[in-house]
């Protein structure tokens, strides 16, 4: 069985196999795989087969074409091992993968892990990848995150992150937040720089002005938000890192308001926002509004010579 690194290396080099099997279901790998499909321009379709194999109507997926893409990617997910499928499902699967060519049609089957000694239901060999991560893989994935987020964290900082008992999706969130909040955030939230390295805090400490500003907006305290913003802008005139920091919170906030569970975000950050929203009725319904304003400010700050503090004050004032 090939490793997840082998899978993403092949994707990076545009070497898509006609048929592939993923064994496992790591949240981080799933998100990155989905992002890779979107970046590659596939007409992407996903079907959860539950505890069955492909049914007669599922075969239509292997005939699908799109007006917007020349390549179709069919992602089937089954909780049953292929050798436990019905005879009809095995025949349907065989016909489906016979149509896959690695160019116009690629078919993927995701199975739960571990799948040991699974009988190949195809007449042809199929590339099978482990779709779970093990601790030994973490250094390579963390380096990848550092590059993707353009965080420029040193080797010492990356090794520090490897010492946490956390999943990759959480560490990915920390790297993004570290790139936005700097070492001050890491010192408070993760204990970076302390002789005794403890685990991550469940929230942010208000002594960090940047995160106190975010927290005050989340709690609807416009007075404190304005005060903290003034403190921040006295030290730095660059508003974009602050806008990036609050935007991450606002995206999760807006999604929760719409009843959508945010995917690919650090669980501790989602829980923090959920608790804030449940405690304060006056901030409910503000997430989408604030996110819209933040998006508008991002465009203005990057395109026009406007007063940065005045722009960010708008976010604080809407907290009332």
What is the mean predicted confidence (pLDDT) over 253-265? 84
The average pLDDT across 107-121 equals 71
Confidence (pLDDT) at 104: 87
Which pLDDT score, from 0 to 100, does residue 114 have? Answer: 62
Q: Average pLDDT for residues 32-55, to the nearest whole number?
A: 90
| pLDDT value for 5 | 93
Residue 316 or 91, more confident: 91
Q: Give the mean pLDDT of the chain.
A: 82
Q: How far is the CA of 55 from the CAs of 6, 8, 80, 124, in angstroms? A: 31, 30, 13, 21
**Residue 107 and residue 100 in contact, taking contact as beta carbons nearer than 8 Å:** yes
Strand, coil or helix: 193? coil
| Residue pLDDT, tens place only, 72-111 | 899 999 999 898 999 999 999 999 999 998 888 999 999 9
Percent of the chain scored above 90 by pLDDT?
A: 31
pLDDT at position 197: 42
Query: Full-prediction pTM beyond 0.75?
Result: no
Q: What is the pLDDT of residue 123?
A: 54
Q: Does residue 225 or residue 98 have the better pLDDT?
A: 98
pLDDT over 70 at 120, yes or no: no
The structure tokens listed for 180 are 């936005």
The continuous run of DSSP H or E covering 64 comes out as none
Distance, in Å, from the CA atom of 45 to the CA atom of 32, rounded to the nearest integer, reads 16
Top-confidence range, 67-71, 116-120, 220-224: 220-224
CATH class for the domain made up of 4-132: alpha beta
Q: Determine phi and psi for 162, rounding to 5 degrees.
A: -65, -20
Assigned CATH class of 209-317: mainly alpha
């Amino acid at each position: 069985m090939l490793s997840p690194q082998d899978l993403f290396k092949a994707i990076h080099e545009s070497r898509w196999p006609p048929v592939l099997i993923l064994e496992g279901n790591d949240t981080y790998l799933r998100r990155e795989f989905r992002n890779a499909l979107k970046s590659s321009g596939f007409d992407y379709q996903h079907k959860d087969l539950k505890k069955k194999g492909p049914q007669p109507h599922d075969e239509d997926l292997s005939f699908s074409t799109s007006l917007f893409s020349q390549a179709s990617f069919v992602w089937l997910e089954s909780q049953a091992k292929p050798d436990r499928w019905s005879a009809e499902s095995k025949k349907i699967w065989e016909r489906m993968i016979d149509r896959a060519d690695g160019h116009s049609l690629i078919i993927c089957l995701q199975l739960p892990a571990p799948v040991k000694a699974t009988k190949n239901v195809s007449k042809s060999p199929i590339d099978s990848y482990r779709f779970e991560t093990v601790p030994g893989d973490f250094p390579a994935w963390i380096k990848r995150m550092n590059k993707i987020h353009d965080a420029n964290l040193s080797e010492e900082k990356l090794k520090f992150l490897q010492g946490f008992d956390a999943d990759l999706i959480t560490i990915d969130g920390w790297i993004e937040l570290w790139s936005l909040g700097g070492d001050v955030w890491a010192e408070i939230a993760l204990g970076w720089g302390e002789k005794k390295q403890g685990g991550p805090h469940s929230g942010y400490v208000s002594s960090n002005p940047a995160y106190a500003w975010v927290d005050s907006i989340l709690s609807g305290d416009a007075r404190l938000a304005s005060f903290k913003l003034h403190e921040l802008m006295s030290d730095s005139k660059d508003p974009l890192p602050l806008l990036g920091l609050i935007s991450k919170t606002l995206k999760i906030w807006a999604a929760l308001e719409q009843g959508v569970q945010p995917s690919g975000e650090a669980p501790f950050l989602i829980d923090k926002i959920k608790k804030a929203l449940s405690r304060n009725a006056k901030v409910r319904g503000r997430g989408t509004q604030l996110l819209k304003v933040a998006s508008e400010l991002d465009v203005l700050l990057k395109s026009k010579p406007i007063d940065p503090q005045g722009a960010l004050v708008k976010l604080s004032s809407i907290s009332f």
